[in-house]
Amino acid sequence: DIQMTQSPSSLSASVGDRVTITCRASQSISTYLNWYQRKPGKAPNLLIYAASSLQSGVPSRFSGSGSGTDFTLTISSLQPEDLAAYYCQQTYSTPPYTFGQGTTVEIK
Amino acid sequence: QVQLVESGGGVVQPGRSLRLSCAASGFTFSSYGMHWVRQAPGKGLEWVALMWHDGNNKFYADSVKGRFTISRDNSKNTLYLQMNSLRAEDTAVYYCAREYDYDGTRGGAFDIWGQGTVVTVSS
């Protein structure tokens, strides 16, 4: 199975800061990488698919990049409503479609 | 609107069974692969199972293989998860999710999620 490793596991940043979360796959997954946001008490929400495609309705301050084994989710200007856990997921291989362990974003 | 609604969760003793349902509305259910994903308390997201749109293929996480069965009734727009031989480590919020197959080759992305149903396995 493909393993997904996210870093950091948590971070604290101020409103307006640029925030970067990384995700590394244990083998090449081309661009079959998705990012999800999970706010407390809510279902996960798709932010980015195919490594860099912004899902409809998602604010443009979210962006994704990368290919192969290394990927990045960037929030260009952190907002209070971005308090959440963020997960990467690979859908390259035959299932299991593994998730990273998650990154918790806190607002200073 | 496009919606998934899970039901069937509850408190169950170890070794017993439970069946979860996921009712879909607002889209052509029979055109989409459907997944179950869970999140245990204090843990991250864990993919559980997939059934293709036509029901011809099923896949499971190793942690549930042989105990859980995914199925669907396209005439009722409903996805199911039959959970047998439940263990304490199956305690989680269970979500159903729709797969958006954006390029028709490998896996897609989970673009619609239900609100989740809570399963607690405890004596």
Q: Which of B5, B35, B47 to mutate to test the interface with A (most CBs of A within 10 A)?
A: B47
Per-residue pLDDT, averaged over B44-61, amounts to 95
Q: Does pLDDT of A93 surpass 90?
A: no
Q: How far apart are the C-alpha atoms of B108 and A4, rounded to whole Å?
A: 16
pLDDT of residue B7: 98
Ramachandran class of A9: left when φ > 0, alpha when ψ lies in -120 to 50, beta otherwise = alpha
Q: Does pLDDT of B71 surpass 90?
A: yes
pLDDT category of residue B104 using cuts at 50, 70 and 90: confident
Which of A1, A38, A43 shows the shortest C-beta gap to B114? A43
Task: Kindly determine whether residue A95 and residue B108, on different chains, have CB atoms separated by under 8 Å.
Answer: no
Which of B46, B50, B111 shows the shortest C-beta gap to A95? B50
SS3 A80: helix
SS3 A38: strand
Which of B62, B106, B116 shows the shortest C-beta gap to A91? B106
Return the closest-CA partner of residue B47 out of B68, B61, B63, B33. B61
- Mention every residue, 6+ apart, whose C-beta is less than 8 A from residue A91: A32, A33, A34, A97, B106, B107, B108, B109
Do residues B8 and B107 make contact, with C-beta atoms less than 8 angstroms apart? no
HEC-encoded secondary structure of chain B: CCEEEEECCEEECCCCCEEEEEEEECCCHHHCCEEEEEECCCCCEEEEEEECCCCCCEEECCCCCCCEEEEEECCCCEEEEEECCCCHHHCEEEEEEEEECCCCCCCCEEEEECCCEEEEECC
- Mention every residue, 6+ apart, whose C-beta is less than 8 A from residue A104: A9, A10, A11, A84, A85
pLDDT of residue A22: 98
pLDDT of residue B105: 83
Span of A63-67, A69-73, B55-59, B89-93 with lowest mean pLDDT = B55-59
pLDDT in tens, B11-20: 999 999 999 9
User: CA of B122, closest CA in chain A: separation in Å?
Assistant: 22
pLDDT category of residue B103 using cuts at 50, 70 and 90: confident
Q: Does pLDDT of B92 surpass 90?
A: yes
Q: Does pLDDT of A27 surpass 90?
A: yes
Percent of chain B exceeding pLDDT 70 equals 100
